[in-house]
Structure 1
Amino acid sequence: MLTAFLIWFGHFMLCWAAVEIWPGQDRANHLAWAFTALALLAMGRHVRQVARLAQQGEVLGFGHRFAQGAIAIATVAVLFTALPSVVFME
C-alpha cells in the first residue's frame, strides 16, 4: 500500500540529486523530466496492480481506498516535484 509513496520518494531524491550535481543547467531539467516520466509510468503500473488485487479480493475496503488515495497524493507530489524544472527553465 505504500508503493506509491516509495515511487514519489525515489523520484524526489533523483530530481534533487540531479539539481545538486548540475545546478542551474539544462541537464538537470532534462533529467527531472525523464525521472518524472518514469515515475508516472511506475505509478500507472501500480494503479493496474492495485486494481488487479482488488478484483481478486486481496485488497478490500479501507485498504483499497487507502491505496487509491496514496496513488492520488503521490501522483500530485511527483508532478509538483517536477514543476520547478519547468518554471525555472532558462
Structure 2
Amino acid sequence: MGRRVKSLPLPGWRPILTAFTIWFLHFMVCWAAAEIWPHQWTANAVAWAATVIALLAVGAHLKRVRARHAAGQLPGWHYRFAQGAMAIATAAVLFGALPSLVFLP
C-alpha cells in the first residue's frame, strides 16, 4: 500500500480570533457602561478597568502565541497574522478607551 505520513495539525484561526475576541469584549463592556451610566464617572472607571484587563489579556495572548511559535506548533504565516491581529486589537482597545479620557464628566 501507500506510505502514510503524519502531518502536523493545523492551528486553525484561534490565535487570530482570540485577539479580536478580546477587542470585542472590551468594546461591549465600554459600550454597556456608557449606556448604563451615561456621562458619569462610573462609566469612565469601568472603561479604564476594562482597558487594563484587555491589554493584560492581549499581552498574555502574545506570550502564548510566541511560545507556540517557538515550539513549532504555529506556522510562520499563522504567527504573522496573529501578530497583526494583536496589533490591531491593541490599537482598537486603546482607541476604544479614548472617549472616556476626552469626555470627562
Q: Which has the higher contact order (CA 8 A, sep 6+)?
A: 1
Structure 1 stretches of 4+ with a deviation exceeding 6 A read none
What is the aligned partner in structure 2 of residue 81 from structure 1? 96
Q: Which runs of 5+ in 2 are unaligned?
A: 1-14
Task: Answer with 1 or 2: which has the greater Rg.
Answer: 2
Identity %: 60
Q: Find the residue that maps to 2:25 and give its secondary structure.
A: helix
TM-score for both structures, normalised by structure 2 = 0.84
Q: How many residues align?
A: 90
Q: Which has the higher helix share?
A: 1
- Cα drift, residue 4 of structure 1: 0.4
Residue deviations 1:34-72 (CA, integer Å, cap 9, x gap): 000000000000000000000110111110000000000
Q: What TM-score does the superposition give when structure 1 sets the normalisation length?
A: 0.98
Match for 1:12: what amino acid?
A: F
CA RMSD between the two structures = 0.5
In 2, Cα distance between the equivalents of 1:68 and 1:60?
A: 12
